[in-house]
Each structure stands twice: as C-alpha cells, then as structure tokens.
Structure 1
Amino acid sequence: MGEPLNPLNVGIVGCGHIIGAYLETFPRLDAVRLVAVADLDRSRADAVAAEHPGVRSLSVDELMADDEVQLVLNLTIPAAHAPIALQALAAGKIVYGEKPLAANSEQAATVLAAAAEAGITVGCAPDTVLGTGTQTARRAIDDGLIGRPISATATMMTPGHERWHPNPDFYYVPGGGPLLDMGPYYVSALITLLGPVASVIGAASHTRTSRTIGSGPREGEVIPVTTDTHVTGVLVHESGALSTLVMSFDAVATQAANIEIHGETGSLIVPDPNRFDGDVKLRSLGSTDWEILPVSAGYVDASRGIGLQDLALTETDAEPRASGRLAYHALDVMESVLKSAHSGQSVTIESTCERPAAVPLTELSVRA
C-alpha cells in the first residue's frame, strides 16, 4: 500500500490508558498522521506530546478549533463519547471513537443524525473485526465453505474484572456488566460474519450483590453490584441465522470456543474477537477432524487503530467497515437483549446496517 499524498491529520481527545495501544499503531498507518492531543488533565496531554515529536498538546477546545486537525479520535470515557463526538462534528471534524459509540443508543442516534446533517463520516471501534482472524472466517463463509449459515454461538466467561482491575466499580453499575463491556467485540463480529440483527430474546441474572477488589490500593474493599452480571441472548439475524450469546462475570472458565459458526455443510471456529488474529478452524461435513484455514483476508498484523486507516482509505460516499452505523446497531442489539431480559418478551431491533464489506488480505507498510 503506497502512502497517500495527503494523510488525514488526527487529534486525540483523551490521554488515558487506552491511548498507549493507539500510539503503538500510528507509525504503521500511512493514511493518517497524529498531530495533536488533548485531555482535561493537561499534564497527561503534555506527557504524550513530549514523547512524540511533531505532536502538539492542546486543550479540548483548542483542538476542536484547530484547522490542522481533520479527524478527532475520541478516547474519552463512555459518558463523554457523545458530547465530544457532537463537538467535533460541529467543528467539521471526522469522528472515530472508542467503543461504545455513546453511553446509550439514544445518544448514539443523536451523533449519527448530526453526522448525517453535516455530511461527515463517523467511525467507531472495535476494529478487531478488520484483522485476519474474523476476516478469514468471513472469507470462508463468503466462499461457501460451510454452506448456508444456520447458527452461531458466542461465549465470554470470566469470574469478574475486580480480581485484577484496581478500580472496577463501573463494571458493576447500570451501563456496565459483561454484555456492554465485552459484547461490542462479539456482536460486531457476529454482524460482520452473518449480517444485521432483526430481533432478540434475552435473559439475565447476577449471583452476588457485592464484589471484593483483588488488587491495587483498594484491595479488599467491597463494592456493590447493581447490574446484571450474566447475560444470555438469542439474536435472530435478518438472514435467518440464529446466534446464541453468553456473556458472564459470574463463571470461572470455559473450554468453549469464543465464536462458532455452523452451516449446512461445515462449522467454523472463529478466534477471540477481542484479538485481531488467531487460527480459524473448519470442520466439513463428513470430516473427522478440524483443519486450520490459511490466512486469506484482513489486515495482517493489525492492532488497535487500524480502523482509522480503513476509514481514511474508504471512498467518500461509502461507509468505513468499522462504521458508526455498525457501532450503533451493535449497541441497539445489546440494549435490546437487556430490555428483553427484563421484560420477558422478544424485542424487535429498530436499527439496521449493511453487512460491512470484506477486507482483502492487506499488508501494512511502516512509515519511513
């Protein structure tokens, strides 16, 4: 891939922990260039700028007003995702955000409406779906290796983040929980593989009313649990395929594959959707064993931030693969699973999106 004549200039808002992963990726992205950073804690922005020549430390308002910044990478906390996105759109900036697109689907819809009115593109993580793991599985489905897709299972089991996270409170209040925390990776992958979702049925529970922090300065402190910590849902895709989703902070472990896709003539094991790579395994009808498929699609050796590159290289009138519309649909699906769990009734999904375009096998070049 040759270097574009005019890479997009990126300004980052939010210099917390996650920025490190993006900063590691930027030197490998020739379609975007980091030019500025901002944070409510100016010292954090100053520290990032000091370590990256050519990157300026600005206030949030200064970054939004800066004519050099063409795209705002929104790495703030989820509660600030929509306000920062709306401020960037009002300033005429392209927006790419960490997941979720907004704290809830109502706010996410407001962001997309503002973007549509301004004629500006919005992209959103997770971009793990653009790596060779999910994309090789997508290629196998598109090539008919499993026949017509019938069903999928997506499983994430952990005893809870309080065992390792020093400040896990937000995982256990409304807006947290295993589905809204990890679900974007799994639901985005299922939509990429099988297409948009038409309706859902959900059930949920939580086994404990408190958790004990297991590390850091607050080790031993007991925190309350006020949200569901085990969620199960059935997603009815528009194609007719059925996906069963299990997300838990209550289980100890599982041997189940992260995602399995089952078709009329074969089954696929898809690697962890929180990763960019991993082996895709196929078992064809009549076979007695699984075979590892050769890597055949996706960005090779991708890492967090590849969605920015994909957005920058997307044709003007097309949606990026890690699009705001995909992120909104995934958020709508997850909220609807929780709504169904509480009502006991199936919920029709009001939103939809196009199944994102497949990613051909693509090597990244390191910028000189």
Structure 2
Amino acid sequence: MSTMRIGMIGCGVISQQYLASFEQLPDVQLVAVADLDPARAEAAAAGREGVRVLSVDELIADDEVDTVLNLTIPAAHAGIDLRAIAAGKNVYSEKPFAVTTAEGQEVLAAAQEAGVVVGSAPDTVLGTGTQTARAALEDGTIGAPIAAVATMVTPGHERWHPQPDFYYVPGGGPLLDMGPYYIHALVTLLGPVSEVMGASSRLRTERTIGSGPRQGETIPVTTDTHVTGVLVHESGVLSTLVMSFDAVATTIHPIEIHGTAGTLAVPDPNRFDGDVEVRRLGGDGWETLPVAAGYAEAGRGIGLQDMAVRGSGLRASGELGQHVLEVMNAVLESSTGGARVEVTSSVARPAMVALEGAGVTA
C-alpha cells in the first residue's frame, strides 16, 4: 500500500494511545474521526490539521478513507467491520476481534469476498518485548519448549475506567478483555492452539464505579470474572492461562515459558517493551537478554504501519485475531460444559520482526 488514510471510529479512552502514535507512523495518515458522542470526536480532531469530524455513516462512506480503525466497544466490532468492508474499506479492529466466533468468521469471509485487508489488535506483540523472546526461542536459548504460564490479575477496571460497563457483560470479562494480549503473545511465541480446557467463576454480581462523573454508581456483572484455561498448542506445548478481575496482585512474570534447557520470562504483553530474562539450566540466577528483535519505541498503531507496508501479509492480522477469539470462546465453552473443546481454526505464526525503528518493516 501507499500512505494508508485512516478513519477512526470510536474516540474513547483507548483512542488517546493511537492518537499519540500517528505522527510517528510514516505510512499512516489520520484523515477523519467519528464517535456517537460528537464532543469526543471534536476533542480527538482538535489541533490535528486535515482531520475531519464526521458521523459514523459519513466516515464509512467517505472516499478519502481507505482503512477504518475500529475502536468501538467489543459488541460493535463485527457490525462496524462488516459495514466498512461492504463499503470497500480495509479494517483494523481493536481487540477482541469480535464477541462470538461466528461473528469473526463472518468478518473474514466478507473481507475475502471484497478483496480488502483485515487487521486486529493487539499489536503490542510486535514490540521489542515479545519479539526478543521470540528470537530467544528461535535461537534455542531454553531448548525445546515444554509449557508456558500466562497470568494477569487485577481487582477490576471499574476502579479507574469512567465507563466500565462493557467489561462486565458478555464480550468483556478478563478473558476477552485482557486475554488477547496474552494469547496473541503465546501464539506468536509457541504457535497455534488445537484444543483447550477451561474453568471460570463470578464472585460478585455488581461492581461500583470508582472514578469519573458516574463515580459511586453500581453496575451489574453478567459475565465470569476469573478464568483459568489450559491451551494445547499444535506443537504439543501446554500453556496455562489465569485471567482475573477478582484477584489483587501476583509476583510471577506475566508469561513464563519452560523448556528443556531453561525458563524464559516474557514481559507484560500489554506493553511493547520490557526486559526478557532467562534462567538457564545449571546457571546462576536470572539474566537479562539484550534486545534482539521488534519495532523499537513502538506504540499502539504500529500494527497499522505494519499493515500499510506489508498489506495482506500484515502480522497483526484478522486471521490471528480470529484464531485467538476462537481459543477464548472455546475456553469459556469448556468452563461451562466441563469437557475439552477443539479449536477448529489454525494460523501461521506471524513473521518475526527484525530490530527496526517504527517506520521500517523487516
């Protein structure tokens, strides 16, 4: 692609991180914004030369927009994507790719028929943290991988988010909200997943908003808020997943990969950077590995830059987002039914990112 002209739909909290990155992305240009709240769209466009404020319908139909960046709430992801694809636009969606596996499949099928490109967050896995860990695995630093453990615990997003309702309905919860960061990283590092087992719980039926204009308001909880899963990778590696909006803290690394010759500690997959550490068999303590791969100093939106340069070969692809969505929904299905659930989709591991600046794709 040449310079990719972006129309951003959804100007909520996460949009601020994308807006902070656009000027560092040489092949990406923001040209329009839209939000159900016109004031939020006006604020997003303020001070940005050439960025127009449009309605959602106007943005999707606009000839100056060739790619729709979908930052709406999860329940709206598939619907907005399908409308954009029908208008001949490429789409790049925030995580999760959709709410149901069937919705995600519909988006991919529509994109294939229309001949457009589909991308999916998170693009954090393209940063130096996850990519340096990928390089260490490729180099055999810990021998043959055997198992991984991915852990995310927090008391809940209602403590800081002014509009947290969507975190506590189907399509939210710790797995569909935070799980994409961890499972995208696990698939990037260890390959696709073939089957899962899961268990989950919901300890509270309501939450109290802790900040913003609705502080003190109580909202209902209609999805499970603590989820544990075992992911069986096609390679035979077993990954254990713990995602919680109920627990307080943990002292273990966000992701640990255990191999025959050592253990690799992977930094927070919700970040682009961070130290990668290894504890070698027969070694003396943990050692920090030098940065060896990934987009350096990247921020949210680097997936769009990768998409602009690589086109349909983008790393943060809709196919990867859909595979991760199916894995997550399979974990939830298993937690309800109590049996292993097969994951029917597969996906190739994205190409590793050589150590480059944000504007260069290897």
> Which TM-score band (shorter chain)?
over 0.9
Equivalent residues of 2:74, 2:171 under 8 A apart: no
Q: Distance in 1 between matches of 2:247 and 2:118?
A: 36
* Residue correspondence of structure 1 range 28-177 to structure 2 within 5 A: 28-177=24-173
The answer to whether 1:304 aligns with 2:300 is yes
Q: Distance in 2 between matches of 1:111 and 1:269?
A: 35
Question: 153-162 or 321-330, which moves further after superposition?
Answer: 153-162
Q: Distance in 2 between matches of 1:165 and 1:54?
A: 30
Question: 215-224 or 321-330, which moves further after superposition?
Answer: 215-224
Equivalent position SS for 2:20: helix
Shift of 1:251: 1.3
Instruction: State TM-score, norm by structure 2.
Output: 0.95
Q: Distance in 2 between matches of 1:65 and 1:224?
A: 36
Question: 189-198 or 201-210, which moves further after superposition?
Answer: 201-210
Q: Distance in 2 between matches of 1:8 and 1:346?
A: 42
Equivalent residues of 1:121, 1:319 under 8 A apart: no
Instruction: From 266, 277, 282, give the equivalent of 2:278.
Output: 282
Alignment match, 1:330: 324
The answer to whether 1:357 aligns with 2:362 is no
Q: Distance in 1 between matches of 2:188 and 2:32?
A: 32
Q: Distance in 2 between matches of 1:327 and 1:289?
A: 36
**Cα gap change, 1:218 to 1:264, in 2 (>3 Å):** same
**AA paired with 1:326?**
L
**AA paired with 1:319?**
G
Shift of 1:252: 1.7
Equivalent position SS for 2:199: strand
Q: Distance in 2 between matches of 1:256 and 1:282?
A: 14
Equivalenced residue count is 360
* Residue correspondence of structure 1 range 184-199 to structure 2 within 5 A: 184-199=180-195
Q: Distance in 2 between matches of 1:225 and 1:79?
A: 16
**AA paired with 2:71?**
L
The answer to whether 1:22 aligns with 2:18 is yes
**Cα gap change, 1:74 to 1:143, in 2 (>3 Å):** same
- Cα deviations across residues 193-218 of structure 1 (Å, max 9, x unaligned)? 00000000001112233333333344
Shift of 1:365: 5.3
Equivalent position SS for 2:297: coil
Q: Distance in 2 between matches of 1:75 and 1:40?
A: 12
Alignment match, 1:231: 227
Question: 14-23 or 59-68, which moves further after superposition?
Answer: 59-68
Q: Distance in 2 between matches of 1:33 and 1:23?
A: 11
**AA paired with 1:74?**
N
Q: Distance in 2 between matches of 1:213 and 1:35?
A: 34
The answer to whether 1:268 aligns with 2:264 is yes
Q: Distance in 2 between matches of 1:177 and 1:246?
A: 12
Shift of 1:319: 2.8
**Cα gap change, 1:34 to 1:209, in 2 (>3 Å):** closer
- Cα deviations across residues 220-244 of structure 1 (Å, max 9, x unaligned)? 4443333211111000000000000
Unaligned stretches of 5+ residues in structure 2: none
Equivalent position SS for 1:313: helix
Q: Distance in 2 between matches of 1:44 and 1:216?
A: 15
**Cα gap change, 1:101 to 1:64, in 2 (>3 Å):** same
Question: 184-193 or 54-63, which moves further after superposition?
Answer: 54-63
Q: Distance in 2 between matches of 1:46 and 1:286?
A: 59
Kindly, what percent of the aligned residue pairs are identical? 66
Alignment match, 2:253: 257
Equivalent position SS for 2:303: helix
**AA paired with 2:116?**
I
Alignment match, 1:242: 238
**AA paired with 1:169?**
D
Q: Distance in 1 between matches of 2:159 and 2:59?
A: 37
Alignment match, 2:339: 345
Q: Distance in 2 between matches of 1:333 and 1:143?
A: 28
**Cα gap change, 1:64 to 1:172, in 2 (>3 Å):** closer
Coordinate RMSD, CA, aligned: 1.7
**AA paired with 2:294?**
G
Equivalent position SS for 1:101: coil
Q: Distance in 2 between matches of 1:225 and 1:42?
A: 29
**Cα gap change, 1:309 to 1:175, in 2 (>3 Å):** same
